[in-house]
Chain A
Amino acid sequence: MDILNEISLFLQTSVQMGTHILFAIVGGIICERVGNMNLGIEGMMLMGAAVGFSTACATENPLLAVLAAGAAGMIGALIYAVITVSFRGNQVVTGLVLTIFGTGVAGFIGKSVSGNIIPQSVSEAFAPYSIPVLSDIPIIGKALFDQSFYVQLAIIVAVLAYFYMKKTKWGLNMRSVGENPAAADASGINVTLYKYVHILAGGFLCGMGGAYLSVVFLTTWQDNVTAGAGWIAVALIIFSTWNPLKAILAAYLFGMLKGLNFKMQGWGIQIPSQFLEMLPYVATVVVLIFITLRKKKEHQPPKSLGNPYFREER
């Protein structure tokens, strides 16, 4: 078999396997950039997966399914935002609770739709389509241009998020909120508003990431469908040093590890799948050590990450 073709197919699968993670990482980055560590990513993904799946089954409308999934993630994020921003609750605990809550909600909703498969109108809308000429580019052509639109949307979202954060005034303002909310406040930035908007936007993306798994990738309901992807996303946020462009790399590297897992089983190489699933965490720990050692200021977490902000605190 043609080796180039083989690689190109492998990359195509890897991208598919990293897509839900990419949504989650970008959502998480947006949330953490305004200074809120959200450990509820897993929960929001699961809520998105369940609500997206049942909406797709009920309405047979692909757009509604995506929007409903995003909205479900956003509701999770709203609970989180009210507790951490308005009531200044502990972000870590709230995030953990959100994950537990989301898992429960997803299990509950999933029960009623288990056994269903995604209606044809929806699965056709999200079927891979190949863009002529571009998809014939060697190696990366298939990975990028012979995919479902949902997959490409993830890349578009990541690039837009990068552009938004680096090049627009809102992006500058939101980063300042995460670095030093007192400074942002003194500059006339509405800290609470910025936190809410971005936490909710992050939740929307996490919900979409979850729905990708249930609606597009598996097309059947499976309990605990994310299988810890939300936690891997939390780790990969650090790996990508809060940069959405690097998130693309991080997500697809993870997808490749997953893909490799399947491939090796096909080749008869026996490596426990648990070992490969461990690798993203190992990589994140290595990156953490690396950025700590290098002390490059731009690669550090947003400075006020995890801290609530109260203007009149003395």
Chain B
Amino acid sequence: MSEPYIMLKDICKSFGSVKANNNISIDVNKGEILALLGENGSGKSTLVNMLSGIYTPDSGSIYIDGKPVSFRSPKDAISAGIGMVHQHFKLIDVFTAAENIVMGQQKNVITRTKKMEEKITELNEKYGLSIVPGKKVYDMSVSEKQSVEIMKILYCGADVLILDEPTAVLTPQEIDALFDILRKMKSKGCSIIIITHKMAEVLSISDRVTVLRKGESIATVKTSETTPQQLTEMMVGSAVSLEIERPKAELSEKPLLSVKNLLLKNSDNVPVINNMSFDVYGGEILGVAGIAGSGQKELCEIIAGLQKATGGDITFDGSSILGLSPHAILKKGISMSFIPEDRLGMGLVAGMSITDNVILKSYNRNPGPFLDRKFAKSLAQQIVHDFDISTPSVNHEVKKLSGGNIQKVLLGREIWLNPRVLITAYPVRGLDIGASYNIYHILNEQKKKGVAVLFIGEDLDVLKSISDRLMVIHNGEIVDTVDPETVTKEDIGLMMLGHSREEGDAV
């Protein structure tokens, strides 16, 4: 066998006292797709960031085509033909697709729009992309933005593509389209490294898999010779069950939370939430599936009292909660935890300790102007203990925790309030398998206690297995509410794009 095209050897990288990468070695051939699999904090992103020049390794070496290279900045990596699509897109909203693609890469001093557009069209055809050069990024859907990122790499002639969790925000149809593009690139001789959590995708797209755990490479296996069970075990380090439980719980007689004809218009008078009506009963998990930006955030905010609805009504236990202050709603027993894309934007204050973040919601316990720190501290310790949060102490700044632990702090704080309705949006966003199952377990426990859970999610496999009922929304409207046990993923995907089931094949 010939020498691999890209080789990383014995890479080490530390952040402070944390060893993010410890003697990791991977290699990729031309025309091959390598999947990097590992839990959060296993060092996948750190590793590829060094290959793309964002970080510099503490020790170890990188070889391209047999020659050692050292990247001091992304510029070096780009000129070596390595491009990366980041988990959070690095695009500029107010620029057009073409401007984003060429920035930093132009040879001519004066921008020649026409020539740029011709080249983009040419590459569009070659790789089966469909980018409109003049379209502004802020007008694009998530998958369009991703195409622009990929095009950006192809445009500067790179033949090594790194994708960091590219499918996290895509619908099943969009994922298929992306994989088609990747296969096409592979057939043209590109090397591709893809990071993903989703086992099914690893199996369908990759040729080989390298499993990382706690900053070390555990094994590299041929995809065709492995099973999801084996990969998971390597990833977690012990045998785990891949089944998500769906325990039966007793439903409350009347719905705990009921939303009627809810309407919300934005400043341009365009409905963001359009005539939504649904009920959530105690003891069930109502799943909500939809493309990002279909009104999930607004729905959460209205229920939690952070936004005013334009019309309609929301009742909790028979009485309307619309127009109440967030505090009053919280007091009634409705808790909301929304995990935004950056995980910290809503709910927690990044620069404050766990204790201080707990105080944010428990300060009302005692009257008077002074905080009961002692209580908050013991509560924080209890949450840390109950949810198995790994942190040096409760005085640790939240932003220094890993993603999974941050989310556990958020969820733990809400659950401590003993809510009767728990609204949780993207609670496992970006979490690894172990941490995700922990969260599913927590949600199921709440359901068994008779709490009404509204679960807004993005992974359809998870939504299908954990929800008792599954509501699909598109553009602020409910397309349908389906039985998660009988519906197929493809049908959900179509509904997320706004096709009702009658239009397609009936299930």
Which residues of A are interface residues toward B (Cβ below 8 A)? 167-170, 172-173, 175-176, 179-180, 182-190, 293, 295, 297-298, 300, 303, 311-312, 314
Contacts and interface: CB of A to CB of B under 8 A. Distances in A.
Interface in B93-141: 93-95, 99-100, 102-111, 136, 138
A151 B15 CA distance: 54
B309 interface: no
Given A186-B86, A312-B55, A176 B103 contact: yes
A183 B92 contact: yes
Given A179-B92, A179-B93, A183-B90, A190 B110 contact: no
Interface stretch (B73-81, B185-193, B236-244, B279-287): B73-81
B366 interface: no
B109 A295 contact: no
Contacts of B54: 185-186, 311-312
Contact of A297 (B15, B91, B136): B136
A188 B109 CA distance: 16
A183 to B, nearest CB: 4
Given A187-B152, A188-B104, A297-B136, A180 B73 contact: no
Contacts of B109: 168-170
Contact of B103 (A167, A173, A300, A314): A173
Nearest to B104: A187
A296 B79 CA distance: 36
19 contacts: A169-B106, A172-B99, A172-B103, A172-B106, A175-B92, A175-B95, A180-B92, A184-B104, A186-B54, A186-B74, A186-B86, A186-B90, A187-B90, A187-B103, A187-B152, A190-B75, A297-B138, A300-B94, A312-B55
Interface in B297-343: none
A198 to B, nearest CB: 15
Nearest 5 Cβ contacts at the A-B interface: A187-B104, A188-B75, A183-B90, A169-B106, A189-B104
B2 interface: no
A172 B106 CA distance: 10
Interface string B57-78: 0000000000000000111001
Contact of B111 (A168, A185, A186, A314): A168
Contacts of A184: 103-104
A190 B72 CA distance: 11
A188 B78 contact: yes
Given A168-B111, A170-B109, A311-B54, 7 more contacts: A169-B106, A172-B111, A180-B90, A180-B92, A188-B75, A188-B104, A314-B15
Contact of A303 (B75, B93, B111): B93
A293 B268 CA distance: 10
A185 B54 CA distance: 8
Q: What is the predominant secondary structure among interface residues of chain B facing chain A?
A: loop
Interface in B437-485: none
Contact of B108 (A169, A176, A187, A314): A169
A186 B84 contact: yes
Contact of A176 (B95, B110, B111): B95
A173 B108 CA distance: 13
Contacts of B55: 312
A195 to B, nearest CB: 15
A44 to B, nearest CB: 28
Given A297-B94, A297-B138, A312-B55, A172 B86 contact: no
A131 to B, nearest CB: 29
Nearest to B111: A167
Contacts of A293: 267
A167 B99 CA distance: 11
B52 interface: yes
Contacts of A182: 90
Nearest to B156: A188
Nearest to A174: B103
B340 to A, nearest CB: 17
A167 B90 CA distance: 22
Contacts of B15: 314
Given A176-B103, A187-B104, A314-B15, A295 B94 contact: no
A312 B57 CA distance: 12
Contacts of A297: 93-94, 136, 138
B341 to A, nearest CB: 15
Nearest to A178: B92
A14 to B, nearest CB: 32
B94 A298 contact: yes
Interface in B23-81: 52, 54-55, 73-75, 78-79
A105 to B, nearest CB: 36
Scoring A169, A173, A190, A298 by chain B CB atoms within 10 A of each residue's CB, the highest score goes to A169
B84 to A, nearest CB: 7
B398 to A, nearest CB: 13
Given A167-B110, A188-B73, A188-B74, A176 B93 contact: no
Contacts of A311: 54
A182 B103 CA distance: 13
A129 B248 CA distance: 91
Given A184-B104, A188-B78, A295-B267, A168 B110 contact: yes
Scoring B55, B100, B104, B107 by chain A CB atoms within 10 A of each residue's CB, the highest score goes to B104
A312 B102 CA distance: 24
Nearest to A171: B111
Contacts of B78: 187-188
A297 B137 CA distance: 11
A35 to B, nearest CB: 12
A312 B20 CA distance: 13
A84 to B, nearest CB: 21
Contacts of B107: 169
Given A180-B92, A297-B136, A188 B111 contact: no
A186 B83 CA distance: 9
A187 B138 CA distance: 19
A190 B73 contact: yes
A176 B93 CA distance: 10
A179 B111 contact: no
Contacts of B267: 293, 295
A168 B112 CA distance: 9
Contacts of A176: 92, 95, 103-104
B106 A186 contact: no
A182 B91 CA distance: 9
A46 B134 CA distance: 43
Nearest to B101: A187
Nearest to A294: B267
Contact of A188 (B91, B95, B105): B105
A314 B54 CA distance: 12
Contacts of B104: 173, 176, 184, 187-189
Given A172-B103, A188-B78, A297-B136, A183 B111 contact: no
Contacts of B52: 186
